[in-house]
């Protein structure tokens, strides 16, 4: 078995950070270098002061990767600029985009937990794990991960897809929503679907998961079958929804997304059935 391209880690190695990739984030924006008409992640040698304070993320193809939060008043150095990290989604491969997501979450955690929310005292880094701990009451603080569900609803050879009113681009996707306090994942799927499109479900099954940096969420994918009810969009999050077959598809989400993986998996099943028939 080949070695994975990215090997995560917490404790920084003792070697120089000059050649390491430095993922410098401000909110959901990432600092990049423009060179030869392409975008690149800056190295530690290009940002030595920031590299010294950065958090080790792991190694990509043997190259160390670090994350650091950019102070709000920091101007990008010459030849660099801040870009919305979401815009990198279709411009870099899945592995690199996953590291960008780790960096965004790590930078946010580091800058928002410098002080304890219980007693206001400074926090200190905990060796060996991604955590800060209050220097007085010892309360630990970890990067926040918000679980969310995403589900593809099918009916025969059709699937229910919807267009979210708040998403950029006029594409149709699967339904999704964040898990509420006290809910199981299955209860969240049923509630979100009922709220957004008004239909009932049966045969709910787990599909897979994908970390998603925008919302600091972990997307947990499901499939389900239509059990009844007419489509009634909520008019708030969902602008329109309908049933689509593999031969009549709207604009779809990018291939790396778990939404597209759900859709592609169902299309493959339908085509396999038609071939066997």
Could you report the per-residue pLDDT of 77-93, keeping only the tens digit for each? 888 999 888 877 777 78
Mean pLDDT calculated for residue range 171-194: 95
**Whole-number Å distance between alpha carbons of 34 and 148:** 34
Would you give the distance in Å from CA 115 to the centre of its chain?
26
Between CA 196 and CA 177 the distance in angstroms is 10
DSSP secondary structure code for residue 122 in this structure: B
What distance in Å separates the CA atoms of residue 184 and residue 207, rounded to the nearest whole number?
Answer: 16
Distance CA 87, CA 252 (A): 17
Give the residue from 78, 8, 74 showing the smallest Cα distance to 42.
Answer: 78
Residue 193: DSSP 8-state: H
Q: Which residues pair with 204 in a beta bridge?
A: none
DSSP conformational letter for 168? S
Q: What is the rounded CA–CA span in Å between residue 22 and residue 80?
A: 13
Predicted confidence band at 76 (pLDDT cuts at 50, 70, 90)? confident
Share of the chain above pLDDT 70, in %: 97
* Strands 38-40 and 123-125, sheet pairing: unpaired
The reported pLDDT for the residue numbered 48 is 93
Element (H, E) at 211: strand 200-212
pLDDT band at 249 (very low <50, low <70, confident <90, very high): very high
pLDDT for 168 equals 58
% residues pLDDT > 90 (the chain): 68
The pLDDT of residue 185 is 97
Note the pLDDT of residue 85. Answer: 84
Mean pLDDT for the chain overall: 90
Question: According to the model, what pLDDT value does residue 92 have?
Answer: 79
Residue length of the chain? 277
Strands 123-125 and 132-134: antiparallel
> Does the structure show a pLDDT above 80 at 3?
no
Whole-angstrom distance, CA of residue 222 vs CA of residue 153 = 9
Q: 58: how many CB neighbours lie within 10 A of its CB?
A: 16
Tell me how far apart the alpha carbons of residues 246 and 161 are, in angstroms, rounded to a whole number.
Answer: 12
pLDDT digits (tens, 9 = 90+) for 188-245: 999 999 999 999 999 999 999 998 877 678 999 999 999 999 999 988 889 999 999 9
Which domains does the chain carry? 6-112 (3.90.79), 113-143 (no CATH), 146-276 (3.90.79.10)
What is the rounded distance in angstroms from the CA atom of residue 154 to the CA atom of residue 175? Answer: 12
φ, ψ dihedrals at 14, nearest 5°: -80, -10
Q: In this predicted model, what pLDDT tens digit does every residue of 115-158 receive, in sequence order?
A: 998 899 999 999 888 999 999 999 999 998 899 999 999 999 99
Residue 199 has φ and ψ, to the nearest 5°, of -105, 165
pLDDT score of 209: 95
Least confident of 35-39, 40-44, 206-210, 229-233: 35-39
Residue in the structure block whose two tokens are 């959901």: 28
């Amino acid at each position: 078995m080949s070695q994975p391209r990215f090997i995560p880690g917490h404790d920084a190695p003792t070697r120089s950070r000059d050649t390491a990739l430095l993922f410098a984030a401000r909110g959901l924006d990432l600092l990049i270098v423009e060179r030869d008409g392409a975008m690149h992640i800056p190295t530690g040698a290009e940002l030595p002061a920031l590299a010294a304070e950065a958090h080790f993320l792991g190694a990509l193809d043997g190259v160390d990767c670090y994350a650091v939060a950019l102070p709000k008043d920091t101007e990008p150095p010459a030849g660099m600029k801040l870009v919305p990290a979401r815009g990198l989604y279709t411009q870099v491969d899945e592995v690199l985009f996953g590291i960008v997501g780790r960096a965004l979450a790590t930078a946010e955690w580091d800058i928002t937990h410098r002080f304890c929310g219980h007693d206001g005292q400074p926090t200190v880094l905990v060796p060996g794990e991604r955590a800060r701990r209050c220097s007085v009451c010892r309360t630990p603080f970890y990067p926040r991960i918000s679980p969310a569900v995403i589900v593809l609803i099918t009916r025969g050879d059709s699937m229910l897809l919807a267009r979210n009113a708040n998403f950029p681009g006029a594409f149709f996707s699967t339904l999704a929503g964040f898990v509420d306090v006290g809910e199981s994942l299955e209860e969240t799927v049923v509630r979100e679907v009922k709220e957004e499109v008004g239909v009932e479900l049966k045969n709910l099954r787990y599909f897979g998961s994908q970390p998603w940096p925008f919302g600091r969420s972990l997307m947990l994918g499901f499939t389900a079958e239509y059990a009844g009810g007419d489509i009634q969009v909520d008019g708030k999050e969902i602008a329109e929804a309908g049933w689509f077959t593999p031969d009549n598809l709207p604009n779809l989400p990018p291939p790396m997304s778990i939404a597209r993986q759900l859709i592609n998996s169902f299309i493959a099943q339908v085509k396999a059935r038609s071939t066997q028939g």
